[in-house]
């Protein structure tokens, strides 16, 4: 299983806490049920680890097996990602996608599709209306 460096962890935490909240919060309505990027990331990582281990347990354990196990684990990681509903879900989805890209669980081709899907979901959210100025 790939080891993570401190730089990868720091970048994932920065993306999970700073970028989505700072960029998305001012323009979009908040979700009624807050979520935790840590919980979403934990769910995705656990899915990856379980799938990788399950594949390796039923294989011979060679280097090619690790490649196929990582591919299967990447699919499990993506299936565990949060739904693209509400600002919190989209924020968690982006955090999981960014982390998955950093650890190699998500391929370059799939990463573009996932981030585009998040962008479309974000654009589809209703925007907060600015208070209208009265003609007083």
For 34-86, what is each residue's pLDDT tens digit? 457 689 999 999 999 999 999 999 998 778 999 999 999 999 999 999 999 99
Rounded (10°) angle between helices 108-124 and 86-103: 170
Measure the CA–CA gap between 105 and 79, rounded to whole angstroms: 12
Whole-number pLDDT of residue 135: 55
The percent of residues above 70 in pLDDT, for the chain, comes to 68
Check whether 11 has a pLDDT greater than 50.
Answer: no
Q: Which of the two residues, 63 and 17, has the higher pLDDT score?
A: 63
Whole-number pLDDT of residue 63: 81
Residue 37 φ/ψ, nearest 5 degrees: -60, -35
Whole-number pLDDT of residue 60: 83
Rounded (10°) angle between helices 6-17 and 86-103: 160
Measure the CA–CA gap between 117 and 123, rounded to whole angstroms: 10
Whole-number pLDDT of residue 61: 76
What confidence tens digit (pLDDT) does each residue in 91-102 have?
A: 999 999 999 999
| Strand ranges inside the chain, DSSP E | none
Check whether 131 has a pLDDT greater than 80.
Answer: no
């Amino acid at each position: 299983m790939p080891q993570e460096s401190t730089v990868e962890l720091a970048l994932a935490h920065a993306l999970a806490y700073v970028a989505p909240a700072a960029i998305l919060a001012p323009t979009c309505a908040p979700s009624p049920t807050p979520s935790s990027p840590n919980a979403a990331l934990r769910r995705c990582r656990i899915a990856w680890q379980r799938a990788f281990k399950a594949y390796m347990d039923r294989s011979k354990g060679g280097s090619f097996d690790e490649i196929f196990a990582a591919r299967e684990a990447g699919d499990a990681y993506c299936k565990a990602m949060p739904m693209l509903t509400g600002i919190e879900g989209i924020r968690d989805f982006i955090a999981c996608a960014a982390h998955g890209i950093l650890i190699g669980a998500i391929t370059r081709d799939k990463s573009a599709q996932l981030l585009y899907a998040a962008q479309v979901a974000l654009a589809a959210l209703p925007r907060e209306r600015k208070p209208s100025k009265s003609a007083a």
